[in-house]
């Protein structure tokens, strides 16, 4: 059993397989994280819903498996809601294979207030398959303006919207995305839809979409769209070819926000892995890790509104400030670079840099993110650039979180994040920040 890479502050299951976060909801001050789970194998098998809870987004208690496969199929991804009367409901995709093809329907589950007892709706599936091989991942929200429930669901290369007043009878409203954002040979997945306020107080809608292959860093990634949603259709505020990314790393997928009736700042969590190599990551007892939670906000930039993300203050404080025996720490880095100069960050006591920051002009820079090959993990190595703005008055500040091989790097006031898994020989090794030339001459 290998626990070398078990994180201290990122959630991972005790044992078995984990992928997408599901059913994120905050109830009575408690955060509940459900997740795609095979409790019997770390290699991925029949999907269940695992379950963990936390009061501070730092310490997680794993609970009993919540949802098991039924006659309708295994339990694919979905969401959770709380009604105005305080009732709790889960929605998930039931998945089975029919004549060698995927067959997926949407199902409703009733839960008690403690989220410890779960009963399937007798009318399941509440939405039957409309003839699509990819029809999954229901995200349900309340749309106050039309006083209806809205479900966003994957329709292959687009996102469909359904409406309901009773959570059982659903009506198709529209679809979005066939000509917008990034597309690849795989489907869009795990949508999320949330209303957010711009700095001027106006309301805008943010649609999160997972792309299983062909994302910015190759493989899986999480893109988003900003626009308006009237309860019937989503209208993109940007040009169709505009691509916006929650994270530019290789390991931030299927991001979901917590349903929270308190009106708190929206918080998301993503699966910190990539379908290119998720089944071959270097752990044995468990496979799969979640990202740190991130608070989401809209900020105004020259190109329009954009999503900025910040690690909650309580999570920041949980990390120590320097690398030590635990291999879990947070470090703020300030780089004062002249035009053409490069700064480098090496982790885990290794001699080669993992990130190289190059100031390319007065107001621009790039982050080169580098990862070496790991035996048994095809497509894991990478070397690519992320463009970002260099502050007019400098320095460029970076916020680094390292947790036993899982690294999250934020900059540009939360507009740019890079999340990458590493499997170093010494996860607790020291960090070094210097010029690229110093590394090359060492």
Indicate whether 327 and 274 sit together in one domain.
no
In-domain check, residue 189: yes
Same domain, 323 and 305: no
> Same domain for 338 and 291?
no
Q: Active-site positions?
A: 20
Same domain flag for 50 and 118:
yes
Note whether residue 10 is domain-resident.
Answer: no
The number of distinct structural domains making up the chain is 2
Of the three residues 258, 288, 310, the one that is the final residue of a domain is 310
- Torsion-angle region of residue 153: left (phi > 0), alpha (psi -120 to 50) or beta? beta
Looking at residue 316, its pLDDT comes to 95
With respect to residue 413, please indicate whether it lies within any of the assigned structural domains: yes
* Domain final residue pick, 310, 328, 363: 310
pLDDT band, very low/low/confident/very high, at 297 (cuts 50, 70, 90): very high
* 187 and 143 fall within a common domain: yes
> What is the average per-residue pLDDT within 418-426?
97
Domain at 72, CATH number: 2.115.10.20
pLDDT tens-digit map of 213-264? 999 999 999 999 999 999 999 999 999 999 999 999 999 999 999 999 998 9
Specify the pLDDT at position 1. Answer: 36
Residue among 229, 305, 193, 255 nearest 408 (CA)? 255
pLDDT at 102: 94
3-state secondary structure of 291: coil
With residue 437 as reference, give the H or E element that holds it: helix 436-441
**Domain holding 426: CATH number?**
2.60.120.560
pLDDT tens column, 136-191? 999 999 999 999 999 999 999 999 999 999 999 999 999 999 999 999 998 999 99
The answer, yes or no, to whether residue 2 has pLDDT greater than 60, is no
Same domain, 323 and 306: no
Q: Is residue 5 part of a domain?
A: no
Model confidence pLDDT, tens digit, residues 12-71: 999 999 999 999 999 999 999 999 999 999 989 999 999 999 999 999 999 999 999 999
Is residue 296 within 8 Å of 207, Cβ to Cβ? no
Q: Which domain holds residue 385?
A: 319-441
Q: What is the mean pLDDT of the chain?
A: 95
371/427 Cα distance (integer angstroms): 14
Helix or strand run (H / E) with residue 438:
helix 436-441
**Residues 47 and 190 placed together within one structural domain of the fold:** yes
Are residue 126 and residue 149 in the same domain, yes or no?
yes
Q: What is the pLDDT of residues 107-133, one digit of tens each?
A: 999 999 999 999 999 999 999 999 999
**Quick check: is 2 in a domain?**
no
Would 60 be classed as within a structural domain? yes
- Whether the CB-CB separation of 13 and 65 falls below 8 Å is answered with no
pLDDT at 186: 85
Tell me the mean pLDDT in the region 344-349: 96
Closest residue by Cα to residue 139 from 88, 227, 68, 208: 208
Q: Is there a contact between 209 and 188 (Cβ–Cβ < 8 Å)?
A: yes
Instruction: Tell whether 202 is covered by a domain.
Output: yes
Residue 212, in any domain of the structure? yes
Domain boundary residue, one of 310, 344, 375:
310
pLDDT beyond 80 at 322: no
Q: Residue 442 has what pLDDT? A: 57
For residue 317, the model assigns a pLDDT of 94
């Amino acid at each position: 059993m290998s626990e070398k890479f078990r994180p201290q502050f990122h959630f991972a299951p005790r044992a078995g397989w984990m992928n997408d976060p599901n059913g994120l909801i905050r109830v009575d001050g408690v955060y509940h994280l459900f997740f795609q789970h095979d409790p019997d194998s770390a290699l991925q098998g029949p999907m269940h819903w695992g379950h963990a809870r936390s009061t501070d987004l730092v310490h997680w208690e794993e609970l009993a498996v919540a949802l098991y496969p039924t006659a309708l199929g295994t339990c694919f991804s979905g969401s959770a809601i709380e009604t105005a009367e305080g009732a709790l409901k889960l929605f998930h995709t039931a998945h089975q294979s029919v004549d060698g093809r995927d067959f997926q329907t949407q199902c409703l589950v009733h839960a008690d207030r403690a989220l410890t007892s779960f009963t399937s709706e007798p009318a399941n599936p509440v939405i039957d398959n409309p003839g699509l091989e990819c029809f999954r991942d229901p995200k349900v929200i309340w749309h106050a303006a039309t006083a209806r429930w809205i479900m966003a669901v994957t329709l292959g290369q687009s996102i469909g919207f359904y409406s309901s007043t009773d959570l059982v009878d659903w009506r198709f409203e529209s679809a979005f995305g066939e000509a917008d954002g990034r597309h690849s040979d795989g489907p869009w997945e795990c949508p999320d839809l949330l209303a957010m306020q711009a700095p001027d107080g106006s309301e805008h809608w943010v649609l999160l979409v997972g792309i299983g292959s062909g994302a910015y860093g190759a493989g899986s990634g999480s893109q988003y769209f900003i626009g308006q949603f009237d309860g019937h259709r989503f209208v993109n505020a940007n040009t169709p070819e505009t691509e916006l990314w929650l994270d530019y790393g290789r390991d931030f997928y299927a991001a979901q926000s917590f349903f929270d009736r308190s009106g708190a700042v929206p918080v998301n969590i993503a699966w910190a892995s990539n379908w290119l190599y998720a089944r071959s990551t270097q752990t044995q007892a468990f496979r799969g890790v979640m990202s740190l939670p991130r608070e989401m906000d809209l900020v105004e930039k020259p190109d329009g509104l954009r999503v900025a993300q910040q690690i909650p203050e309580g999570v920041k404080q949980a990390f120590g400030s320097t690398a030590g025996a635990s291999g879990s720490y947070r470090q703020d880095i300030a780089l004062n670079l002249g035009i053409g100069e490069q700064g480098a960050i090496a982790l885990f006591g290794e001699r080669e840099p993992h990130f190289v920051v190059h100031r390319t002009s007065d107001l621009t820079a790039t982050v080169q993110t580098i990862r070496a090959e790991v035996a048994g993990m095809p497509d894991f190595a990478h070397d690519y650039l992320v463009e970002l703005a260099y502050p007019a008055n400098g320095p460029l500040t970076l916020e680094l979180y390292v947790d036993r091989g899982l690294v999250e790097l934020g900059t540009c006031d939360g507009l740019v994040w890079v999340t990458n898994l590493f499997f170093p020989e010494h996860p607790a090794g020291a960090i070094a920040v210097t010029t690229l030339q110093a590394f090359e001459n060492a």
